Structure formats: C-alpha cells, structure tokens
Structure 1
Amino acid sequence: MTTDCFLKITSLQAEQVITSKSAYKEIQPGLVEHQIDIQFARVTTPSPVAIEWCIPLIDISGKWHPLIKSDRSLTSGWCEYVDSYATKGAPVFSLFSESGENRQTFALSDAINPIQMRVQVEEDTAEVKCEVILFEAPTEPLDHYSVTILIDTRAIPHYEALAQVSQWWEAMPLYKPAPVPAQAYDPVYSTWYSFHQELTEDAIESCCEWSQTMGCKTVIVDDGWQTDDSNKGYQFCGDWEIARSKFPNFSAHVERIQKLDMRYMLWFSVPYAGLESQAWKTFEDRTLPKPFDNAACLDPRYPQVRAYLIEFYRRAIQDWQLDGLKLDFVDQFTAEVTTESARETADMRSVPAAADRLLSDMMTQLQALNPEVLIEFRQNYIGPAMRKYGNILRANDCPNDALSNRVRTIDLRLLAGSTAVHSDMIMWNRNESPERAALQLWATLFSVPQISVKPEDISKQQDQMLRFYLKFWNSHRELLMHGNFKPSQPQYLYPVVKVESADATLVALYQNNHIVDVSKLRSRKLTVVNATESQRVVIDLGEQAQSYQVKACDCMGQPTANTQIIKQQTGLYSISMPASGVAELSPIDAHS
C-alpha cells in the first residue's frame, strides 16, 4: 500500500476528534483501491465524517447510480445526496462519456451502514467533486472504522466498470450471494395487477392453468391472501392469517398449483404491522418513528421483532410447502433516529445493521428447510447485501410503462451478477393493438418476464402475441440471461441493447431510426428485435461485404411474405420488418 494524498478526510463536527490515514493499491492501471482507516478518541457513536476528492471535468457527459431515474445528466439532482445502506440502493456512482465509456466509477466496501454520496459539478474550477459522508445516521458504537473505496478510471464500457464493482463485492465474504436455483429464471405469473386484493383460489388456479401452457413455471400470489379487505391498504398486515373466505383450504390449493408443475410464492410486507392487526397491539412500542399510511413499521433492532417475523416465514415454507416468498417494502427499514421501548431492550443501535441480521438469519433458516427457496426483492433494495438474502431482484412498479420497465430492468442487470433480474409485472388494455401490447414485453426482454393479465381480459390476438413472446423468450433464455450483456448509451436510456455468446448475437432496438451496428459481428447467427412501431430497421454492415438471408415475423410469430437476401453489401442496409417484429439473419455464401 502507498500513502494516499488523493482523498481528503474531515470530521464534520469540530468537537469530534479523529485520526485518519489513507493508502492505495493499484490493482491494474486505472483500477485502484483506497484503504481508509479512521480512529476515534474513544468508543462512541460517530458523528458524520466526509471523504472527498475532485477529478477534471473532461469528456464526462452523464452519471449513474442505482437509484437514479430517467435524468442521467450531470446536473440532475445537482445538490442532492444519494443514500445507501443495507436495504436501500448500493454505494456506487459512475460517470461516463457521450459514447457510454467509463470515466470514473467508484464504490465503497461498506454496503450495510448508512452512507451518503454526491457527485457535483464545480463550475468555478471545471471539476467534478465526489463526496462520501459516513455516519450520517446512527450506527453501532465503535472506536475504529475501516472502509475501502474502489476507483476505476479505465476507458472501458460503463457496464463493464459496473460489472467489476459487482464482482468486487461478490468476492467479499460479507456479501457472498445466495445460490440462484435454475427455476429463478423461469417466467412468472403474478396476481398483483390482474387481481390486486380480489383473490379467489379458483380464479388463481384457472390463471395458472392458462399461463402454464405458455411457459410460466411460477406463480406469485400477491397482497390480498391475508385479508378480506380490498381497499389496497395495509391496516390488516402483520398477523398473516389466511383469509378463509378466499382460501377455504390453503394447503390443498397450493398442492393443486404445484401439480400443474408450477412453483408457489407468497407475498409478505415485511416491516408492516397494520393498525387493525394484533401485531400492532403487541409491538406498538417497538416501531420506527415514520409510519407508512395505515401501518406502522416494525423496528428490527429488537430480538422479539426479528424472531416474530422469521417465525412467520419459516412456518409459511414448512407448513404450507411454499417454494418461495416475495418480501416487500424492506426499504421501509430506514436509517433514522429511533425510539426506545420500556418493555424490551434493543440489542442493536443501527436499523440497517439490524435489518441485515434479520434477513441473514431468515435466509439461514429458510435454506435449511429448502436449499432452493426462492426469495424476491424489489427496487430499490437491490445492493450487494440484499443478494445475500435473496436470489430474485425485480424492477420497481411501473404498470403499462414500457420505458420504465426497460430502464429499470437494465439498470438492475448492471450490478446483479448471477442474481436473477425480473421485470415488473406486465399488463395492458384488452383494446390495445397486439403490436403496442408487445412493446410492454419487448421492453423487458433482458429480464425474466412476470405476466399479470387474465385470459378473459385480453383479446385472442393478444393471447397469440403473448404465447409467441414467451416461446421466443424461453428459446433464447440462455443467451438473454447469461450472454455477454451490452446495453449502450445510458444517458439516452439504452436505445440499443446487445447480448452475445460464442455462436449467437441478439440485438434489441428501442428507438426509431436508430442504426444497429453489426459490423463486428462475432457469431454466425444474428437476431434483431424491432421493439419500435417502425416498419424497418437499419443495420450497419461495416466496410467488409456481407451476405445474409433474412427471415422476419410479426409479434404473433406469423412470417412475413418474402424472405430478404442481403448480398455482398457494405455500409447501411434497411431491413423491412413488422413493428414489434423479429428478424433472423443467417450468413450465406456470397456466390450462391
């Protein structure tokens, strides 16, 4: 390690005396680890400490972090800090060029404790100032703290820099990801948008029979199984008793679904104790200060709270023979100043650290019952700590919003590693054209689809379109989920996404009149998905003449009338293909 003068470390409260030192190690040119050690005068709950550095504002056009929305410009949220802790986001920030090349990506080794980050343009010096604030929220008492900051300035694609960060975290024992069973990559039928809380076992079983014929292998039964109320509130959460009016014999219902060769997952809102629940009466003095609507948020710093929650999940897997759980609203375990109970002593001070303990202990017990248990988490609780306790990460809710579903699933893929990324539930209006409805599906192509429509609520053409999509997705699953993933131009929300293997390439086009570059094609087979309303796709064949046979079909799998031949072409070439259609390009002998 070499003494580090690059980082400035400062206590933000003058009365807090700290001694700090920083050293760095170059892993390879442009990839550096900065080891920071902070010593306090005594064992204490630390006050905030800032770490900052500046880099020249050269060839930097955008920024990315796990909680960013559609505006990736340098001045979006200019003065705002981004929070990260165990159940929210991840401690990583990336700056990239107009071409999508990495200019600086930094990440912290501490993904459990509360950390604030800000990347801000300094107009007076034409620099970018990077700030990290430690100890902004209460943590466990300590006299010493160490953290490593990885800084990557290599001129590589932004997605490669973020993949490096994901691998860096994975190599740390503290963040060893949970095993991901193959079934985590099976298409899902979800009840949420199609039913909301209006659930009945007969209707669910009918939808499962239908969706299973299309290739869905898992059902997620969402909110509503635990209450007769249908007002979409959470006042009855926390007791987790089956609503017998909806499920007279729940175990028999689960068994019938599983006999269809489908797995059964069940929804829980982890922190909520509704104000009409027995859980609220039991734990009203052990809740976090900020309630959510008509529910309180349980405080995981208390051993009895953790034991109460874990016992429910353990019994659900064991008694009902469930295959997995959808654990929702975990980000409500917020990093904030807490209150203390007169009836029980909290054995931890930090809420994020307590949430980490709760979920770690839960996963240990559930895996003892079923080593292949499926656990789903949702944006924005998707960091390296969450990958310890779950094997499915789902895009945040965005009903009928193809753009958001596309961007959110791709953003998730950037850090997810081997953890399965699922789309938000997909739905559409029955009077929508099949081509426009198909855009909802194509938007989620690079994630596991979760379908949430009822067969009686869609048209015959939409049914045919959905069947074709799921057949296409399943046949390309290995390439889509495990190929070399290359999403381009993050500042423009990924208008073209490519995935490659040794013998196949698939390109999805999401923007009209955008050119698909196939000049450096490394595989024999090329699939082009036209996820637009245009009737053509323009490809760039490069300077070396190429010949292909082109077979196209529409969104329902119906072939177009003519097979196109590209013969000894260079440069730009326009392929005729239907909106929301697919084309397969096969190389041919130029002389045939």
Structure 2
Amino acid sequence: MVSVSSPPPFSPFFIPSATIRSVDAEQEFTASSVVKTCAPGLKEYDIRIQFAQRQAPSPIVLEWLIPLVDIAGKWHPTIGSDRSLSSGWVQTINNYATLGAPVYALYSGSGENRHTFALSDAINPVGIRVQVEEDVAAFKCTLVLFDAPWPEMDKYSFILRIDERAIAYNEALAGVSDWWAGMDEYRPAPVPEAAYDPVYSSWYSFHQELSEEGIEANCAWSRDLGCRTLILDDGWQTDDSNKGYAYCGDWEIAESKFPDFTAHVARIKALDMRYLLWYSVPYVGNKSEAWQCFRDRVLPKPHRNADCLDPRFPSVRGMLIDCYRRAIGEWGLDGLKLDFVDQFTAEVAVKSDSEEADMVSVPAATDRLFTDIMAELRTLNPDVLIEFRQRYIGPAMRKYGNIFRAQDCPNDALSNRVRTIDLRLLSGNTAVHSDMVMWNAGESVERAALQLWAILFSVPQISVEKDAIGEAHQRMLAFYLRFWLERKDLLMHGKLTPLNPLCLYPVVIAENDTELCAVVYQEDCIMTLPPLKERSATLVNATEMGVIHAAFGNSTKNAKITVYDCCGILLSTRVMDGISGIVTIVTPCSGYAKVTITS
C-alpha cells in the first residue's frame, strides 16, 4: 500500500499509494503518521519526520495518487482564471507565510468536492503540484518540503487534512479556513465593522499626481455617496511621478503635495472618514537614504530601481516597525495599506559586514516582523485597519490584516469578480475588498455599472474622480452604493454560494433568513435559486442581454416582480399567480428585478 525510497515506511494506515523520498540520497530520515477520522470522508494525518542527525534539511517529496473519477476542475488560492485539469507539464505552486496558502481542491463538474487537501504549516515554504498521470488515469498530488533555507533541526511534523466528502467545493474550502482559524498560531485579527465600509482610493484616479486639495475634494464627494474610508496610495512620499519605487524607503511626506500632512489628515477625519496610507513594505529605492544604509541587507532579487529588504536582520525589522508606529502614532492614521509583502521570498542567506542575521528562513522572519508590527500598532489603536493584497492572503496573513483586496485588475469586471469570490472562499470574517473600480468617462452608464455589479459580494473600493465622470455616471454610482449599503449585512455576512467554479462563477447567490440576492454574470445562463419560502429576492442582470432566466423550483407562491434600471429607476411591475419553474424576466443590462412573495 505504501512505497518509500530508502527511509523506513510510513505506518500502514497512511494514505493509500503514498511515497516519501529525499531529493538528496545521502539524507537519512524516518517518517511515520497517525491518522484521525474527523468525519466520514474527512481525515487528518499527523505526519512526523525524524532526521538521523540535526541538520539543515534537504528537500523531501511526499506523493500520493487519487483516481481521476468525476473530477472536472481545480482550485487553489493563486489560481487565476485557468481551472482546467493539467498534465505532467504543470508547475509547482509555491506557498509560504506571505504567498498563497497550502490548500488545493479538486471538484466535479457540478462543483461538488472530490479531494481537498491542506497543510497545517502555512508559515514555512511548501511546494504543491497536482498533475494528471495519463498512464493510470489518476492525479498525483505532490508536496515538496524544505526546498528553501531552513534552520537546523532534528525533527519536523505537520498535519495533512484530506477532505473527500460529497459537499459543495466552497463548503470544503470554508472547512479548511475554519480549521486554520482554530489554531493558536493563526488566530485571525479582529475585524472592526469599519473594515466593511466602502473605500475611496486615490490610485487609479490620481496615481502619483497627488495634491491635498484634490484628495480632500474627492473625499467630500465620495463621503456623500457612502464611502467612509480613504486609502492614499503611492505618491505621497515623493515628488517623482514615474510610477517606480526609486524613492521608497525613507517614507517622508512630500511637502510639495502635503504642506501640513497632520492637518490634512485631520480635515479628512472631520468628514467622518478614516485614513489609510500606502507603503511598499519590502522595497527600498536606490535613490533613498535608507538604501545607502541597508544596501547590504537586501534580498538578491532587485526590482528595477529598488531592492527588497531582508527581514532576517533585526535592524531591518526595527526600521519598518518604527515607520508604521510613526504613521499611526504621530500622523493620526487609522490604518495602513501594506503592499508587495509577497516579495519577501525564501532566499539564501545574505552576508552583511555591519550586522548578523538572527534568522535563517525569510518567511519565518517575515512572520516575526508582522507579529511585532501588529503588537505595536494595536497598542496604539486596537481597531487599526490593515489591508493586504491578493497573493498574500493565507491564514498567517489573517493574523495581521483585517482587509484582503483583490489583485489589481483595472476596468476588468471579469477578473474583479473572480478574484473577489476566490478571496471570499478562504477569508472567513476577514473583510474582502474589490480592486479599485474605474472606467472611462466615455463608457455607457450601463457598461460602467457592470464594473460595480462584478464586485457586489465584496466591499467596494472606488477610484474615479468626481470631475472626470459625467452626471449620469455619478447618479449610477450613488445608486449602486445605496443599494450595496442597504444590503451590506446580507452580501458580507449571509451564506455565499458561488456556483460553477469551472466557469468562473457565472451565478453567485447570497442569502439569509429573510432575503436573497443573486447575480447572473453569463449570458443565457439560468439562475437556479434556492427555495424562496417567504423571502424576497433581488435578481441582478450583470450581462448585456435584456433578460434574466430564473429557476424557482416547484414553488406555488404568488409574487410581484418589479424591474429597475442601473440607476434604480422603476421600469415595470408584474404580478404572477404562482411563481415556479423557469421564469424569464425582461431586465435591461445592469438592471435588476425585485421578487416579493405576496401569498
């Protein structure tokens, strides 16, 4: 049942067909496991590796096979849009504290779970590869351990959780998220209600061309629309506008843009808005004073005109902590947008003439850095808001951040939809935000609205300028934010069901005991709804087709259907004696229908 090359075999109750081997034939170790059945189809394997001597381990590979039966698609946290099965050319997916998360799901064509596995160690690097083995019509699942600098050790253990229950894929992933959240080492950060308030972001609307007058005017405008938080992005720290990172690292206010930054922050907060400030955490630009100081304590992977700091050095960690302490303590900020932390990659040791590194592993040092940052910041403000961006969204990052934002996808409704839903699947109560929404002023109101309907199941971040869009766009945006705020509890805390992951979630449903909201994103797709009972339903047409096809099952309830356009203007009312089966509702592009049960 188990084959092992050179080391003694696993206990006989280990995963069928599993093998474990060392890439270095000279490395001696033994491996054993203890299995716990948590529920029918759900097992946890406590895997223990004992080395023959204390050492910095060489890579060890663990593999097992599962039959390729009723499996149509795959999912992992950094997957992107390709959900198809793949063969032997598939690449290894790297995961560590600030990149992805060690979980992988295989599901049927209907979206039912077939094989979801996850590791308890989400700090240290692990490679995951899942590929089709054509000759045996099976999937080979591979874990690669220790393929990065590690400190010396004599033993290592972790839990491998395997879920083969016939449940929805998203329920299997939610189970993994809850499993991690229940571990002391990944206890999620508190999430203030403020993390769920709509945001005005300066990035797409201003880029680095910032001014306090422009920011304050757009904050006053967006506050009236419903935004309660400002994120001031890149550009506040430099007079340069070339979009590079050459001047990052010193983190001093560009006084040409903000002559009195503390007073500016106070004016924004007087609008009853919170203020978050952007930092590119690892980057130290080669035109900064910080680079002159830390140039020998950077990772061997320059980024154009900047380098990445090495968090294994105490002085690096101390400098970063001081920056963020100042921002919260002296400038009166409510939080930070901490960017590019996935660039703290697992690299070989760096030598410095001025300081000794006190850690071997970059991911472990990064975990220590953020643990210390958050201890400092929560002392100053227990409700501090911390935003991280997609890719660094695993269970370790939930310890530090309470906002996860979709990866950049300007004017790309499809990507924004898929990325926000992907984030929701693992994030638990951590607030998931959209990438900043923007559109061209010449776009039709209906198509601009598609950008917003795409992010309905996340907290909206808006990044258009008041004076750059017309009145019709402003009316549409104002309506959308009212619509979202009225349903915020349903959309953010209701039961979320993203259907058909293989086709990138063409229908998404949120429901609670009193109402449901469903959006169709693919033309000619039937929106299959859960039983309405006595609940009202809001059905959104996020396509350019003029109809919604909704399947109401065998309900015999009578209902009133009211149809609205993308600005919330009533278009029609229809009464149905018995709403059942598939009902076609004429609804314009970016419009919606409200279904109210009457008897």
The alpha carbon displacement at 1:519 in A equals 5.6
Q: Does 1:360 align with 2:364?
A: no
Equivalent position of 2:576 in the other structure: 566
* Secondary structure at the counterpart of residue 558 of structure 2: strand
2:71 paired residue among 60, 63, 79: 60
Root-mean-square deviation (CA, aligned residues, Å) is: 1.2
Partners of 2:555 and 2:548 in 1: CA distance: 20
Contact (CA 8 Å) 2:107, 2:115: kept in 1 or not? Answer: yes
Equivalent position of 2:265 in the other structure: 254
* Secondary structure at the counterpart of residue 461 of structure 1: helix
Q: Does 1:147 align with 2:158?
A: yes
Summarize the alignment of residues 52-451 of structure 1 with structure 2, pairs less than 5 Å apart: 52-75=63-86, 78-451=89-462
Contact (CA 8 Å) 1:267, 1:328: kept in 2 or not? Answer: yes
Summarize the alignment of residues 520-535 of structure 1 with structure 2, pairs less than 5 Å apart: 520-535=531-546
C-alpha distance 78-500 of structure 1, shift in aligned 2 (>3 A):
farther
C-alpha distance 267-569 of structure 1, shift in aligned 2 (>3 A):
closer
Q: Does 1:585 align with 2:585?
A: no
Contact (CA 8 Å) 1:503, 1:522: kept in 2 or not? Answer: no
Partners of 1:486 and 1:528 in 2: CA distance: 14
The alpha carbon displacement at 1:570 in A equals 3.1
Partners of 2:88 and 2:194 in 1: CA distance: 39
Contact (CA 8 Å) 2:71, 2:109: kept in 1 or not? Answer: yes
> What amino acid is aligned across from residue 518 of structure 2 in structure 1?
V
| Structure 1 runs not aligned, ≥5 long | none
Contact (CA 8 Å) 1:2, 1:25: kept in 2 or not? Answer: no
- With the length of structure 1 as denominator, give the TM-score of the two structures: 0.98
Contact (CA 8 Å) 1:502, 1:522: kept in 2 or not? Answer: no
Equivalent position of 2:5 in the other structure: none
Partners of 1:439 and 1:535 in 2: CA distance: 14
The alpha carbon displacement at 1:571 in A equals 1.8
Q: What's the CA shift string for 1:4-25, capped at 9, x where partnerless?
A: 2533221121100011101211
Partners of 2:589 and 2:261 in 1: CA distance: 44
C-alpha distance 482-577 of structure 1, shift in aligned 2 (>3 A):
same
The alpha carbon displacement at 1:282 in A equals 0.3
Q: What's the CA shift string for 1:488-512, capped at 9, x where partnerless?
A: 1111000000111011111011011
| Structure 2 runs not aligned, ≥5 long | 1-10
Equivalent position of 1:29 in the other structure: 40
The alpha carbon displacement at 1:545 in A equals 2.6
C-alpha distance 523-383 of structure 1, shift in aligned 2 (>3 A):
farther
1:575 paired residue among 581, 585, 589: 585
Partners of 2:332 and 2:530 in 1: CA distance: 52
Contact (CA 8 Å) 1:505, 1:523: kept in 2 or not? Answer: no
> What amino acid is aligned across from residue 307 of structure 1 in structure 2?
G
Contact (CA 8 Å) 2:87, 2:131: kept in 1 or not? Answer: no
Partners of 2:154 and 2:138 in 1: CA distance: 34
Partners of 1:283 and 1:541 in 2: CA distance: 63
C-alpha distance 316-544 of structure 1, shift in aligned 2 (>3 A):
closer
> What amino acid is aligned across from residue 148 of structure 2 in structure 1?
A
2:24 paired residue among 1, 4, 13: 13
Summarize the alignment of residues 403-552 of structure 1 with structure 2, pairs less than 5 Å apart: 403-518=414-529, 520-552=531-563
Question: What is the percentage of aligned positions where both structures have the same residue?
Answer: 59
The alpha carbon displacement at 1:569 in A equals 4.0
* Secondary structure at the counterpart of residue 570 of structure 2: coil
C-alpha distance 182-169 of structure 1, shift in aligned 2 (>3 A):
same
Contact (CA 8 Å) 2:476, 2:566: kept in 1 or not? Answer: yes
Select between 574-583 and 292-301 the one with higher mean Cα deviation: 574-583
* Secondary structure at the counterpart of residue 564 of structure 1: strand
Partners of 1:486 and 1:495 in 2: CA distance: 11
- With the length of structure 2 as denominator, give the TM-score of the two structures: 0.97
* Secondary structure at the counterpart of residue 538 of structure 1: strand
The alpha carbon displacement at 1:337 in A equals 1.7
Contact (CA 8 Å) 1:169, 1:175: kept in 2 or not? Answer: yes
Contact (CA 8 Å) 1:2, 1:24: kept in 2 or not? Answer: no
Partners of 1:432 and 1:170 in 2: CA distance: 43
